[in-house]
Amino acid sequence: MKNNIHLIGNAHLDPTWLWRWQEGCGEVLQTFRSAVDRLKEYDDFVFTCSSACYYKWVEDIDPELFAEITELVKSGRWVPVNGWWVQPDCNMPSAESFARQALYSQLYYKEKFGRICETGYNVDSFGHNAMMPKFLVNSGMRCYVMMRPDAGENPDMPEGLFWWESADDSKVLTYRIPTGYGESGKNAIGNAYKKLNNMAEESGHGMMLFYGVGNHGGGPTKGDIEYLASLKAEGYDNIKFSSPDEFFKEQFSMPLVIPVWKTELQHHASGCYSATSFIKKQNRKTENELANAEKWASLSAALFGSDSGREDFKKAWLKLCYNQFHDILCGCSIMESYEDSAAQLGYAQTIAQDKQNEALLRIAGKVDTWLDGVSDAVSCNERHHCRNLKYPRPVIVFNPLSKEVETTVRTYHPSSRVTDFEGNDVLFGNVRSSRSNDSHADTVFKVKLPAFGYALYWLWHEDSNAAPENNRSPVKAGEDTLENDKLIAKFDLTTGALVSLVTKSDGKEHIASPSLVPLLIDNSKPDTWAHGIFKFHDVLGEMKLDEIKLAEKNDVRAVMRVRYSYGKSYISEDYVLDAGSEVIRSKVRALWQEPLTMVKIPVTVTGENPEATYEIPGGFIKRKCEGYEDPALTWGDVTAGGLGVSLISDAKYSYDCIGSTLRLTVIRNSIFADHFSDRPEADFSYCDEGLQRFEYEVYPHAGKAEKSGVQKYADMLNNKPVAVPAGYHKGSLPAVKSYVSVERENVSLLSFKTCEDGSGDYIIRLQETAGTESKTAVVFNLINAGFYADFEPLEIKTFRIDSEGVVTETDFLEGVN
Amino acid sequence: MKKEIVLKPHFVRKSTHYALEDSNVPKELYSVINEKPELEDFPAPLPSKKSDYTCSVKVGNVLWLGAETGLTRYDPDAEYSFDKVLYFSADRDLKDNKVSAILPDGDGVWVKTETAVTHIELPVYSAKEVSDILLAETLKYVQRHSMVSHKYLARPGEHDSILPYGSCDNDGGFTSQFCLAEIYRYSVLKKEKGADDPETLEALKVAKRALDASVLLMYIHGRGNGFVSRTYSTADEPLPDDGLFFRRQGNKAVALDTSESRERGIVGLEVDCSAPVPDRLKYLYEEDGYTLDDIYFKCDTSSDEITLQVLNLLFAHKELGCDDPELDEFIKVTTENIVSHIIDNGFTLVDYSGEPTTWARWDEPYFNSEDGWVDAALNSAELLFYLKAVMEITGETGRWKETYDRLVYERGYADLPLEHDNRLYQISLHDGMDPAEEIMYGDHWLATASLFGLCYLEKDEELLGKYRRAFGTWRGSIEREHDAALDFLYLVACPGEEVDEERVKEWFMRANISRLAAGVSLIGRHDIPVKTLRCGYKETSTLLPQDEKFISKYDRNPLQYKNVDSGGLMCVESCYVYTLSYWMGRYFGFIREGEYE
């Protein structure tokens, strides 16, 4: 029948929310037991459940129950959906995180149940980025169920069935739940049935009715099942116990004429992208550390036959996947749960750091750094310095990106000279360190690094006689000015504001009005989610300037230090301009103690007809400059009249854009898990209380944001080179080396890892970032491979390379399924 | 594209093969010592596995690399990125892939392989010169009764072994595309060189003959009702076991014995064929000594024929008819007959049986059937295009407009084209296939022709917007091809859109100088990832330049991971794939010739 109402028995489970994960785990066990019992009692009943994490918990803790479930899955009574580890937030995880959600989960389902999930299912996630169809299709799922935002929050979106397309032309048949995901009781189910039945008759296609009590409720009750069975017996012959898989199969077997939706699905909980800065920063940090460490470990494995750490990385990624659960990453769980997150993400980061260190030191140890005479006897003075002052110290700098980069790196020692591997002087400066011992200084020096590879630099000890021969620094600074070969930035000494930002290549001014002064917003009305509130415009005022001074000026960079205060809180920012850089980087230290406030960093551009652009998972999106609080990944941008400014960050996810002013939200200090509450008096803890450090960058550019190179700067800020001080040794590796390079700037290397089937094959994942159809060469000098690939705008492609260098294109599942 | 692309003269590949001991081969080749190349850290992907390279020679900065799996040329200073690495392989470039010695010779090389010696040259030609050379090849070898599709060879790779027969399917469509190229050529040359220039006159002559050949298919069956045959052959050509054929016998035509006619139980069936062939078309068979009784024609015509013929008639009217009222009148009558037939028969093409043919249906019952539901998006656009075209060609509205308006405003035909991508995708879900496995590549030209035609002719902004959006729903799959002609028509129809300029240049500059099928080596290429789709179909992850992939007509998946030309090794294909792109690009002002350096 065309208008069947499919009854989807389910239990919505939040494994962490108003409880910690241990309780959530117990809840899963109890619910699964209950569901199995109901399946045994009622022959027609079908149970649907998402999230591989839950199945893994049950497998580990109650294997007998898992065996029962396995049989029920095979018989089609129990239907796993959503081939992801949890129902994650769908706005903040990176593209690579979405890939890992799918990879580990679908392969788990395949191993345990002999099949992968066909239907994506994130019924509670608070919004869905515009590239979700791409992620779903790459995960082996071409149908999708979601619910938020609802019709009241976004009346433009289709209800029921629609085609959802992402910019790379990926498409999923999507069902937006028009009722609720857990109806229970005769009245609720009856009302839902009436509504859905009307919709089915009007649309000419079927609908799904989701029933069953979620969190701690045990799923579909006997009463619900029996009530539905009685309806069927009474002649409601268009209802059927079913699953999302069966529902979709029925729909695409009939002619469908349904709407097409081509952008994101927002807004529901607009405060979730700024609440609890801790989890946001840890998510970003863990994503980057894992991806980079895995690249280096895989490189080490290829070079030396060492263990790539695949199993360890899997454990680490799964901890990250878990903490991307929507109530965790969105910052709206209870305070105590973030202690669990700190431990779990700390575990993941520890694996990443261990593996990366092993790999980099292994590689560094093979680079030829030997200098004749370096092992000769040294004087007492030199012994005091722990080294021979006549010889420079080798430092090998590793670049995790697939692009050549020029940037600065820091080592924790002062120097008198720095050269590259060919003996050319490079710009450097001895800068105040974070410590206070007898040297007080670190070395910051300019590097030019090959794509995914390394370069050797030589640093002379500060007490040696070495001195640079011909360094010409482009860096200039005055009491209110920073300047290099690319930019001139001017600050207002009375407010600390950036009042001018000129690109020297074209002489254009990019700033229309004073910018970057932290702005306080009243956050007392919204709950933690900000339910029903989509704009944050109640300005309390700008922060007061305490101090502005030129803190540093040397050959390689200049630093303007600005300190603001408000109440008991302060924000200190070091604006850094490096030689040759097209961005100003702000290193922020914020001690925040103001309840129910929010802080935004604004920038206002010149020009008419502003256009806001943001990085989202796996791409970018254009949004209207109407002041809505919106999620984004590493950068947001406002461009007007052909000139734009991007704000790039290493820890933040929330912006708004009002006309020509883009504002990065850096603090949102709500009560933990304040859910439609009337806030009975208590000694509340606040989710952004205390000290936080993060960095953001200001990038002025001409032309469209997505084609301006902003992604490269964002990648550089979030994936900094690693400087490894090395010893003196002979070695088989040269002084500079690239292992993987991608010809086109707009195609990024997301992942380089070993295949999950243990074959030893390598996996490379690439992403087009500028929205431009592209053909690119990929040079993979590691194992005798190099290849060409075409990319649709924003397309993501995964390649598998065997030991002979033969390349096949696959998807997130690596061809293992 | 916002600016005209300049196509500079560019090298083409020319291979001349010799026996191993041929005296024309330089003796130095047999004694040359080529070094095994050091390829670690090589800065570009290489077509052969690095360890397979056994010999190399450097000429200036250009490096020639010989492998057991073909020959590679690397030019780090190439002006275009697509020219940095070239791959030469058997059978088209080499006799076999096992390269053992390389001797430089100017910009080219002598190459010794296991079974032969090949002299590879890289002569430089302008895009127009390439077009002219390909046209000459087609006129000499490919034409069959002035229809242009492909012809068979007795021996692979040898023009001289051409057989007098060839393709027998959709000849009208292929000939129309050839004709359209010549119409554009005529128009461009007339403007640039004048109407009396010999080259202009030659183009006109070729265009008119091709037009006549395609139009003859509307009369050759003798039914006189606007039906169009797929093709026809003469009695001395072999009868292909591919479809339904009727042999003319006076005023009757008899169904010939083929699998299809046996299946339908019509072998020997007689149908009327008494309607006359217009005098102006008879020369097409009479000049070769044939009469109507020598002819057998093919039925069960698809919409492909009609769509491509109507596009051709539209520009024939515009560019040829303006100088030749008699021809223009003939074009008008022809178009009227075709479209009248479709309208009079409930928006179908009716075959000998009085029933619609299998694939020429534009009617709602078909659109609502299981088979027709997906086709509705394309076929609705086709029918609307025919109606707009006949209005344009005849200068009349009447029943054409009345039908058009009814279909658009009452029957929703203008909305159906917007459904293409959704329906194709839904079918792929239903069939458990990748959407790419559902693509009919022949439909790309039909959709482009129809939607281009609609956008070109429609003045109503609302409808124009719909047609442009509908065109957009096709681009995802059409762009897989990067066929320059498809891109140009899209840009004319949708002026705000863009296509990749580099890909257009590559398409022209990396073309073949001959359409002689010879095969290339693709399987085993080390620089081309292969992707296996859900139902097992294999594709390459990148579109190869034309001179490194198979030769085919417009209706093949250009990403297919196969190393055989679509017609097999025993044929030579028509030039129109190149000439239509070239002259269309010139006609609409997207490309122009650059100067020799």
Give the residue extent of every domain in chain B: 7-125
Exposed e or buried b per residue across A674-713, where buried means at least 16 C-beta atoms within 10 angstroms of its C-beta: beeeeeeeeeeebbbbeebebbbbbbbbeebbbbbbbbbb
**Interchain pair A788, B528: CB under 8 A:** yes
Q: Give the DSSP per-residue string, B199-229.
A: HHHHHHHHHHHHHHHHHHTTTTTS--SS---
Percent of residues, chain A, with pLDDT higher than 90: 92
**Cα A535 to Cα A626: distance, rounded to the nearest angstrom:** 9
- Lookup: tokens for B348: 């179908």
**Cα A704 to Cα A465: distance, rounded to the nearest angstrom:** 49
Q: How confident is the model at residue A384 (pLDDT cuts 50, 70, 90)?
A: low
Give residue A404's region: left, alpha or beta (phi > 0; psi -120 to 50).
beta
CA distances from A633 to A411, A619, B308 (A): 29, 10, 48
pLDDT for the residue A465: 84
**Cα A210 to Cα A193: distance, rounded to the nearest angstrom:** 10
Sign of the CA dihedral running A215, A219, A220, A222: negative
Whether B3 has a pLDDT exceeding 90, the answer reads no
Tell me the pLDDT tens digit for each residue of A214-261: 998 889 999 999 999 999 889 898 999 999 999 999 999 999 999 999
DSSP element (H, E) containing A766: strand A762-768
A745 vs B: CB within 8 A: no
CB B48 within 8 A of CB B72: yes
Instruction: Name the E strands within A367-452.
Output: 393-399, 405-411, 415-420, 428-432, 441-449
In 3D, which of B345, B222, B334 has the Cα closest to residue B361? Answer: B345
**Interchain pair B500, A773: CB under 8 A:** yes
Whether B46 has a pLDDT exceeding 90, the answer reads yes
CB A503 within 8 A of CB A700: yes
Tell me the pLDDT tens digit for each residue of A446-486: 999 999 999 999 999 988 888 888 778 999 999 999 999 99
**Interchain pair B419, A142: CB under 8 A:** no
**Interchain pair A806, B526: CB under 8 A:** yes
Q: Which runs of consecutive H residues, i.e. helices, occur in B479-565? A: 484-493, 501-509
In 3D, which of A430, A591, A8, A791 has the Cα closest to residue B541? Answer: A791
pLDDT for the residue A556: 98
**Which A-chain residues 169-198 have CB contacts (< 8 A) with chain B?**
169, 171, 173
**Which A-chain residues 649-708 have CB contacts (< 8 A) with chain B?**
none
> Shortest Cα distance from B506 to chain A (angstroms)?
12
> Into which CATH architecture does domain A380-472 fall?
Sandwich (2.60)
Report, as an integer, the average pLDDT of B454-470: 98
CB A80 within 8 A of CB A49: yes
CB A451 within 8 A of CB A299: no
**Which A-chain residues 295-324 have CB contacts (< 8 A) with chain B?**
none
Q: How many CB pairs under 8 A join A and B?
A: 97
**Cα B486 to Cα B447: distance, rounded to the nearest angstrom:** 10
Of B40, B429, B476, the CB nearest to A781: B40
Tell me the pLDDT tens digit for each residue of B302-342: 999 999 999 999 999 999 999 999 999 999 999 999 999 99
pLDDT for the residue A377: 76
Taking CB atoms and an 8 Å cutoff, what residues of chain B touch A809? 529-531, 541
Q: Model ipTM?
A: 0.95
**Interchain pair A786, B42: CB under 8 A:** yes
Tokens 């995180």 -> residue: A97
**Cα A272 to Cα A287: distance, rounded to the nearest angstrom:** 19
**Interchain pair A777, B45: CB under 8 A:** yes
> Shortest Cα distance from A208 to chain B (angstroms)?
19
The residue type found at A14 is D
**Cα B145 to Cα B166: distance, rounded to the nearest angstrom:** 11
Pick among A707, A740, A790 to test the B interface (most B CBs inside 10 A): A790
Distance in Å from the first CA to the final CA of chain A: 33
Taking CB atoms and an 8 Å cutoff, what residues of chain B touch A792? 476, 479
Tell me the pLDDT tens digit for each residue of B478-521: 999 999 999 999 999 999 999 999 999 999 999 999 999 888 88
Q: What's the half-sphere exposure (Cβ side, CA atoms, 13 Å) at B109?
A: 27
pLDDT for the residue A678: 87
Q: Which runs of consecutive H residues, i.e. helices, occur in B95-158? A: 127-137
Report, as an integer, the average pLDDT of A304-328: 97
Class of the CATH-defined domain A5-268: alpha beta
- Lookup: tokens for A627: 């002041």
Whether B126 has a pLDDT exceeding 90, the answer reads yes
Tokens 């009085």 -> residue: B354
Does the domain at A278-364 match CATH 3.40.50.300? Answer given as no
Q: How confident is the model at residue B586 (pLDDT cuts 50, 70, 90)?
A: very high
**Interchain pair A788, B422: CB under 8 A:** no
Whether B1 has a pLDDT exceeding 70, the answer reads no
State the maximum Cα–Cα separation within chain B, in Å, rounded to a whole number.
Answer: 79
Tell me the pLDDT tens digit for each residue of A119-172: 999 999 999 999 999 999 999 999 999 999 999 999 999 989 999 999 999 999
**Cα A102 to Cα A117: distance, rounded to the nearest angstrom:** 10
**Interchain pair B429, A173: CB under 8 A:** yes
Tell me the pLDDT tens digit for each residue of A67-90: 999 999 999 999 999 999 999 999
The residue type found at A11 is A
> Shortest Cα distance from B75 to chain A (angstroms)?
15
Of A173, A260, A778, the CB nearest to B45: A778
Give the residue extent of every domain in chain A: 5-268, 278-364, 380-472, 476-718, 739-817
CA distances from B391 to B314, B330, B539, B550 (A): 10, 15, 42, 40
**Interchain pair A163, B425: CB under 8 A:** yes
Tell me the pLDDT tens digit for each residue of B371-388: 899 999 999 999 999 999
pTM for the model stands at: 0.96
Using alpha carbons only, what angle is made at residue A49 by residues A43 and A55, rounded to the nearest 5 degrees? 110
Contacts of B347 (CB under 8 A, 6+ apart): B361, B362, B363, B364, B383
State the maximum Cα–Cα separation within chain A, in Å, rounded to a whole number.
Answer: 100
Q: How confident is the model at residue A782 (pLDDT cuts 50, 70, 90)?
A: confident
In 3D, which of A717, A709, A588 has the Cα closest to residue A649? Answer: A717
Q: What's the half-sphere exposure (Cβ side, CA atoms, 13 Å) at B349?
A: 28
Length of chain A: 817
**Cα B550 to Cα B560: distance, rounded to the nearest angstrom:** 9
**Interchain pair B81, A743: CB under 8 A:** yes
Q: How confident is the model at residue B596 (pLDDT cuts 50, 70, 90)?
A: confident
**Cα A665 to Cα B111: distance, rounded to the nearest angstrom:** 65
Report, as an integer, the average pLDDT of A25-41: 97
Q: Give the DSSP per-residue string, A186-229.
A: HHHHHHHHHHHHHHHHHHSS-EEEEE-B-TTS-BS-HHHHHHHH
A252 vs B: CB within 8 A: yes
**Interchain pair B542, A784: CB under 8 A:** no
Tell me the pLDDT tens digit for each residue of B138-169: 999 999 999 998 899 999 889 999 998 876 68
**Interchain pair B542, A790: CB under 8 A:** yes
The residue type found at A717 is L
Exposed e or buried b per residue across A64-82, where buried means at least 16 C-beta atoms within 10 angstroms of its C-beta: eebebbbebbeeebbbbbb
| Strand arrangement, sheet containing A441-449 | A405-411, A441-449, A428-432
> Shortest Cα distance from B538 to chain A (angstroms)?
10
Q: How confident is the model at residue B570 (pLDDT cuts 50, 70, 90)?
A: confident
Residue A116 in 3-state DSSP?
coil
Residue B528 in 3-state DSSP?
coil
pLDDT for the residue B372: 95
In 3D, which of A354, A346, A325, A386 has the Cα closest to residue A12? Answer: A325
| Distance of alpha carbon B63 from the chain centroid | 35
Residue A463 in 3-state DSSP?
coil
Of B373, B502, B527, the CB nearest to A787: B527
Taking CB atoms and an 8 Å cutoff, what residues of chain B touch A789? 529, 541-542
* Partners of residue B15 on adjacent β-strands: B120
**Cα A808 to Cα A802: distance, rounded to the nearest angstrom:** 9
**Interchain pair B526, A778: CB under 8 A:** no
Kindly list the residues of chain B whose beta carbon comes within 8 Å of any beta carbon in chain A. 40-46, 49-51, 81, 368, 373, 419, 421-422, 425-426, 429-430, 435, 476, 479, 500, 502-503, 526-532, 541-543
Using alpha carbons only, what angle is made at residue B174 by residues B168 and B176, rounded to the nearest 5 degrees? 130
Residue A633 in 3-state DSSP?
coil
CA distances from B10 to A605, B3, B71, B487, B594 (A): 46, 20, 20, 21, 10
pLDDT for the residue A386: 58
**Cα A699 to Cα A501: distance, rounded to the nearest angstrom:** 10
CB B571 within 8 A of CB B141: no
Q: How confident is the model at residue A387 (pLDDT cuts 50, 70, 90)?
A: low
**Cα B97 to Cα B346: distance, rounded to the nearest angstrom:** 57
Tell me the pLDDT tens digit for each residue of A632-661: 999 999 999 999 999 999 999 999 999 999
Of A786, A804, A809, the CB nearest to B44: A786
Strands A119-122 and A487-491: unpaired
Taking CB atoms and an 8 Å cutoff, what residues of chain A touch B422? 163, 171, 256, 258, 260
CA distances from A467 to A93, A419, A471, B274 (A): 47, 10, 10, 102
The residue type found at A666 is V
Q: Which runs of consecutive H residues, i.e. helices, occur in A42-125? A: 52-61, 63-74, 95-113
Percent of residues, chain A, with pLDDT higher than 70: 99
Whether A381 has a pLDDT exceeding 70, the answer reads no
Q: How confident is the model at residue B556 (pLDDT cuts 50, 70, 90)?
A: confident
The residue type found at B553 is K
A476-718 topology per CATH: Beta-galactosidase; Chain A, domain 5 (2.70.98)
Whether B406 has a pLDDT exceeding 70, the answer reads yes
A804 vs B: CB within 8 A: yes
**Interchain pair A804, B49: CB under 8 A:** yes
